[in-house]
């Protein structure tokens, strides 16, 4: 049976018994006194005995008083603690395992109106503090809540009392519930307001470029040119001064803009209406004026925001202009870009790029050329054109080609060893990685996304990378190329290469099969010169025709076999019309060697049906869902495909989806169309 006596422990016990322990010390001294003088020893012994009796009596009388004072102090200390907690300036509550309120202090009552008699779930007061949250949180956790239009940070802290409960004869808790949760509420309304104000006051940099300044001025009379410029400038200044922005004209067709971050949401909400508003400026000009805007925000400094704006405007121009690109930190968003980009008739840029490419190839001994994965005719034709350019300078060039599809096989067979071409002209990725080093020129054609190339590893193995492409750029781009020639207005990569070859070297000569291959690339990407064709497209075709390209020979090489033709017919036959204008179909991939190419052909065929504004053909191939989308002029399919992670042009675009079924992909396309119709991005 346990004793109910109160016992002293620790240092307090030592201090209490120290006077009694002194008796032993005095007895030891008394022995020495006896040795010197017996009479004095007896007198000292009497003193020791008296000291011991007095200390013992005093201890026995003092101990109850001491214990009583300690109990009183503990009681008063607990009362003080309880009073301090009750009057604590921070709202405080104790809840049990089931989120039931057990106790609240005065500040909690003042805030919520719930007193100490309120024992319902705390969720009835703060819906965010659920029973599941309290049971799930371990240790300390903070949850942001809103109450009566004020913001609070609720700090949750578990209070364990298992050892106390085990010895208690009054209460008992279920297993696993031997804790309470203390809820502290910290009012952060003012703090968040100041943080929000600080964020809103941050400066945002913007660059505004007039895309077709020279072309628009050339289309009107001289006396009206100054009026056109003045009207455009007035539109730009009025639009930005309404949001208290600083606008400065830095060149004849360029503006620099600075405004507060809080206005960026307003500009997003009206979807940068300036780019549509400026098109209404008409003073006799045949060509509508278009703008490109680059916005940089959320940088660590003003300089970084300006760099973000520079990157954004380059991206907007690389995507064809007539749009806004906002780069907010690492996040990039696009607005506009609904109209066809303006084709520039000048060939100055092509000549400059041709001379730059020549200098780069001359400085390297080896050239590795690659296009996008699952290469098409345009990618192969552009690669052959670059091979011809390198050959004219006496440099060894090789083309990375992992898979030769049925559509490429007739063209690839024209470059066999028997016909005078190197046996290692076409190599696979594994071999390309072995032969590529820091001094190798890696030439990328018909693609500007690293992940879409035949061998992304090559981009890391060389310090010299050149990019020639006609697709609109996205946020994923090849980093730090020594030469980048991205022209979204071009019909195909083969058209760009054909232009470059004309200025590359005077003694360059194309064999008929080489001219055929480049011509075939233009033919495929323009759908027999019906899509994205301009003056320069036909000029490039004329150059290739003079070089020996034969239309009949190319047509024979591009013919489909019976399985491909049947698959394309099945895709057209089973097409579904969504919203009365969007054709969606699935192309069968079994028994078809190149299902992605057949899918693209089927998408082109669907546009021949009356009432179809855009077509989407899905193909399941190699564990992915490939989407080929096409339109004529009314729908910008590039914007739709970008929502799905793809890209392309206004009329020709595509995307690749992983970890989803064909039905899920169809649903995603339909949901994207519905969303964009609702937002007004497509009509």
The residue with greater pLDDT, 285 or 628, is: 628
Same domain, 476 and 620: no
Structural tokens at position 134: 């309290």
pLDDT of residue 71: 62
Residue 451: CB atoms within 10 Å? 10
Q: Average pLDDT in the 592-611 region?
A: 89
Lowest mean pLDDT among 112-126, 163-177, 483-497: 163-177
| Averaged pLDDT for residues 638-666 | 87
Q: Per DSSP, what are the bridge partners of residue 246?
A: 258
Distance CA 357, CA 508 (A): 14
> What pLDDT, on a 0 to 100 scale, did the predictor assign at position 168?
44
Rounded distance between C-alpha atoms, residue 517 and residue 426, angstroms: 15
pLDDT at 230: 92
- Cα separation of 545 and 385, whole Å? 14
pLDDT for 6: 52
CATH number assigned to the domain comprising residue 246: 3.30.70.270
Let me know whether 264 and 358 are in one domain.
Answer: no
512 and 644 together in one domain? no
Give the pair of three-digit tokens for residue 264.
């960026």
Which CA distances in Å does 273 have to 112, 143, 239, 269?
Answer: 46, 39, 9, 9
Indicate whether 139 belongs to any domain. Answer: yes
Give the pLDDT of residue 539. 92
d(CA 126, CA 143): 11
Three-state DSSP at 541 gives helix
Mean pLDDT, the chain, whole residue set:
85
- Tell whether the model's pLDDT for residue 164 goes beyond 50: no
pLDDT at 563: 87
pLDDT over 60 (residue 591): yes
Query: How does residue 50 score in pLDDT terms, banded at 50, 70 and 90?
Result: confident
- Cα–Cα distance for residue pair 180/277, rounded to 1 Å: 62
With residues binned 3-state (H G I as helix, E B as strand, rest as coil), the percentages for the chain, rounded to 5, are 45, 20, 35
Full domain range(s) for residue 406: 348-557
Residue 670: exposure state from Cβ atoms within 10 A (0-12, 13-18, ≥19): middle
pLDDT at 455: 93
Only one residue has tokens 């080896």, namely 366
The answer to whether 207 and 231 are in contact (CB under 8 A) is no
User: In the chain, what percentage of residues exceed pLDDT 70?
Assistant: 90
Give the pLDDT score at 264.
Answer: 93
Is residue 341 assigned to a domain? Answer: no
Cβ density class 342-357: b for 16+ within 10 Å, e for less: bbbeeeeebeebbeeb
Least confident of 100-109, 394-403, 427-436: 100-109
Q: Looking at residue 9, what is its pLDDT?
A: 61
Boundary-marking domain end, from 128, 162, 195: 195
Q: Does residue 496 contact residue 539 with C-beta atoms inside 8 Å?
A: no
Q: What percent of the chain has pLDDT over 90?
A: 41
Co-location of 182 and 216 in the same domain: no
Residues 490 and 332: their CA atoms lie apart, in Å, by 25
**Residue 671: its pLDDT value, please?**
94
What φ, ψ does residue 301 adopt, rounded to 5°?
A: -150, 170
The predicted structure's pLDDT at residue 175: 47
CA 377, 380, 383, 387 torsion: positive or negative?
Answer: negative
Examine the domain organization and report whether 375 and 519 are in the same domain.
yes
The pTM of this model reads 0.60
Which SS3 state, helix, strand or coil, does residue 520 take?
helix
User: Is pLDDT larger for residue 224 or for residue 319?
Assistant: 224
> Taking a C-beta distance cutoff of 8 angstroms, is the pair 471, 447 a contact?
yes
Q: Could you report the per-residue pLDDT of 61-88, keeping only the tens digit for each?
A: 776 666 666 666 666 666 766 777 777 7
Residue 8 has pLDDT above 50, yes or no: yes
191 and 301 housed in the same domain: no
Q: Is residue 505 part of a domain?
A: yes
Q: 296-299, long-range: CB within 8 Å, 24+ apart, which pairs?
A: 296/204, 296/205, 296/206, 296/327, 297/202, 297/204, 297/205, 297/261, 297/264, 297/326, 297/327, 297/328, 297/329, 298/202, 298/328, 298/329, 299/329
Residue 344 is predicted with a pLDDT of 54
Q: What is the pLDDT of residues 264-318, one digit of tens each?
A: 999 998 889 999 899 888 888 777 888 999 999 999 899 999 999 998 998 888 7
Task: Report the pLDDT averaged over residues 151-178.
Answer: 61
Sorting pLDDT into bands at 50, 70 and 90, what band is 4?
very low
Q: Check whether residue 429 and residue 477 sit in a common domain.
A: yes
Label each residue of 120-184 as H, E or C.
CEHHHCCCCCCHHHHHHCCCEEEEEEEECCEEEEEEEEEEECHHHHHCCCCCCCCCCCCEEEEEE
Return the HEC string of 2-56: CCCCCCCCHHHHHHHHHHHHHHHHHHHHHHHHHHHCHHHHHHHHHHHHHHHHHHH
End-of-domain residue from the set 35, 55, 86: 86
According to the model, what pLDDT value does residue 89 have?
A: 82
Tokens standing for residue 356: 């730059």
Does residue 633 carry a pLDDT above 90?
Answer: no
The predicted pLDDT at position 76 comes to 65
CATH number of the domain residue 473 falls in:
3.90.1640.10
Same domain, 467 and 424: yes
Same-domain check for residues 227 and 326: yes
Residue 637 has pLDDT above 60, yes or no: yes
Q: 229 in a domain, yes or no?
A: yes
Q: What is the CATH number of the domain that holds 188?
A: 3.30.450.20
Structural domain contains residue 2? no
- What's the structural domain count of the chain? 5
Q: Is the pLDDT of residue 2 over 60?
A: no
74 located within any domain: yes
Q: Do 313 and 172 lie in a common domain? A: no
Please indicate, yes or no, whether residues 396 and 536 belong to a single structural domain of this protein: yes
Least confident of 7-16, 26-35, 276-285, 350-359: 7-16
Q: Is residue 40 part of a domain?
A: yes
How far apart are alpha carbons 50 and 505 in whole angstroms? 125
Residue 649 half-sphere exposure toward CB, CA atoms < 13 A: 27
Same domain, 361 and 329: no
Asked whether the beta carbons of 544 and 575 are under 8 A apart, the reply is no
Supply 40's token pair.
Answer: 């004095």
- Read off the CATH number of the domain in which 606 is found: 3.10.310.30
Q: Per mean pLDDT, which range of 137-151, 318-332, 666-680 is the poorest?
A: 137-151
The residue from 39, 57, 86 where one domain ends is: 86
Class of residue 39 by CB neighbours under 10 A (exposed 0-12, middle 13-18, buried 19+) = exposed
Q: Which two tokens stand for residue 340?
A: 């066809």
Angle at 470 between CA 392 and CA 503, to 5 degrees: 30
Give the model confidence (pLDDT) of 173-184 as tens digits: 444 456 788 888
pLDDT at 677 over 70: yes
Q: Residues 6 or more apart from 573 whose CB is under 8 A from it? A: none
pLDDT score, position 669: 95
Mention every residue, 6+ apart, whose C-beta is less than 8 A from residue 104.
91, 92, 93, 94, 112, 114, 115, 116, 118
Q: In this structure, is residue 201 part of a structural domain?
A: no
Give the bridge partners for 630, in sequence order: 615, 652
160: pLDDT strictly greater than 80: no
């Amino acid at each position: 049976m346990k004793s109910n006596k109160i016992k002293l422990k620790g240092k307090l016990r030592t201090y209490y018994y120290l006077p009694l322990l002194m008796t032993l010390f005095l007895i030891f001294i008394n022995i020495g006194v006896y040795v010197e003088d017996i009479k004095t020893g007896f007198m000292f012994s009497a003193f020791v005995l008296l000291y011991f009796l007095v200390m013992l009596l005093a201890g026995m009388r003092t101990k109850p008083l001491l214990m009583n004072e300690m109990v009183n102090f503990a009681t008063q200390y607990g009362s003080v603690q309880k009073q301090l907690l009750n009057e604590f300036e921070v709202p405080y509550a104790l809840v049990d395992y089931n989120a039931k309120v057990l106790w609240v202090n005065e500040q909690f009552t003042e805030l919520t109106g719930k007193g100490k008699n309120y024992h319902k779930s705390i969720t009835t007061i703060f819906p965010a503090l659920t029973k599941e949250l309290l049971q799930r949180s371990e240790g300390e956790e903070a949850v942001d809540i809103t109450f009566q239009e004020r913001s609070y940070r609720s700090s949750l802290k578990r209070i364990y009392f298992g050892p106390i409960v085990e010895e208690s004869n009054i209460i008992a808790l279920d297993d696993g519930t031997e804790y309470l949760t203390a809820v502290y509420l910290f009012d952060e309304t003012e703090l968040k307001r100041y943080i929000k104000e600080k964020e809103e006051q941050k400066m945002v940099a913007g660059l505004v470029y007039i895309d077709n300044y020279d072309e628009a001025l050339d289309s009107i009379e001289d006396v009206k040119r100054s009026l056109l410029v003045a009207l455009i400038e007035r539109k730009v200044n009025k639009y930005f001064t309404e949001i208290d922005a600083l606008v400065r004209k830095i060149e004849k067709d360029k503006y620099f803009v600075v405004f507060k971050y809080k206005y960026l949401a307003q500009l997003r909400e009206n979807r940068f209406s300036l780019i549509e508003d400026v098109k209404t400026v008409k003073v006799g000009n045949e060509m509508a004026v278009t703008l490109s805007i680059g916005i940089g925000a959320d940088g660590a400094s003003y300089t970084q925001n300006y760099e973000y704006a520079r990157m954004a405007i380059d991206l907007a121009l690389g995507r064809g202009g007539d749009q806004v690109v906002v780069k907010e930190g690492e996040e990039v968003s696009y607005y506009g870009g609904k109209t066809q980009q303006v084709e520039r008739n000048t060939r100055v840029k092509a000549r400059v790029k041709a001379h730059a490419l020549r200098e780069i190839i001359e400085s390297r001994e080896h050239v590795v050329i690659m296009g996008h994965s699952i290469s098409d005719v345009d990618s192969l034709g552009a690669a052959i054109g670059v091979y011809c350019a390198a050959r004219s300078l006496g440099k060894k060039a090789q083309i990375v080609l992992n898979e030769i599809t049925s559509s490429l096989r007739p063209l690839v067979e024209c470059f066999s060893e028997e016909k005078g071409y190197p046996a290692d002209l076409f190599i696979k990725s594994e071999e390309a990685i072995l032969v590529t080093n820091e001094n190798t020129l890696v030439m990328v054609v018909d693609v500007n996304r690293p992940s879409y190339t035949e061998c992304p590893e090559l981009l890391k193995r060389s310090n010299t990378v050149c990019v020639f492409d006609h697709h609109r750029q996205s946020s994923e781009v090849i980093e730090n190329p020594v030469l980048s020639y991205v022209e979204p207005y071009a019909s195909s990569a083969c058209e760009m290469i054909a232009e470059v070859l004309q200025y590359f070297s005077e003694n360059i000569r194309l064999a008929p099969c080489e001219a055929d291959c480049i011509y075939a690339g233009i033919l495929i990407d323009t759908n027999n010169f019906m899509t994205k064709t301009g003056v320069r497209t036909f000029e490039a075709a004329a150059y290739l025709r003079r070089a020996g390209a034969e239309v009949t020979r190319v047509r024979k090489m591009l013919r489909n076999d019976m399985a491909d033709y049947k698959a394309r017919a099945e895709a057209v036959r089973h097409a579904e019309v969504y919203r009365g204008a969007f054709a969606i179909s699935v192309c069968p991939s079994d028994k078809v060697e190149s299902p992605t190419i057949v899918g693209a052909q089927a998408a082109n065929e669907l546009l021949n049906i009356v009432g179809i504004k855009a077509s989407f053909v899905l193909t399941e191939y190699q564990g992915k869902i490939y989407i080929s989308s096409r339109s004529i002029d009314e729908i910008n399919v590039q914007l739709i495909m970008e929502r799905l992670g793809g890209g392309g042009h206004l009329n020709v675009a595509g995307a690749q989806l992983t970890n989803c079924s064909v039905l899920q992909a169809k649903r995603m396309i339909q949901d994207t169309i519905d969303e964009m119709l609702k937002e007004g991005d497509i009509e």
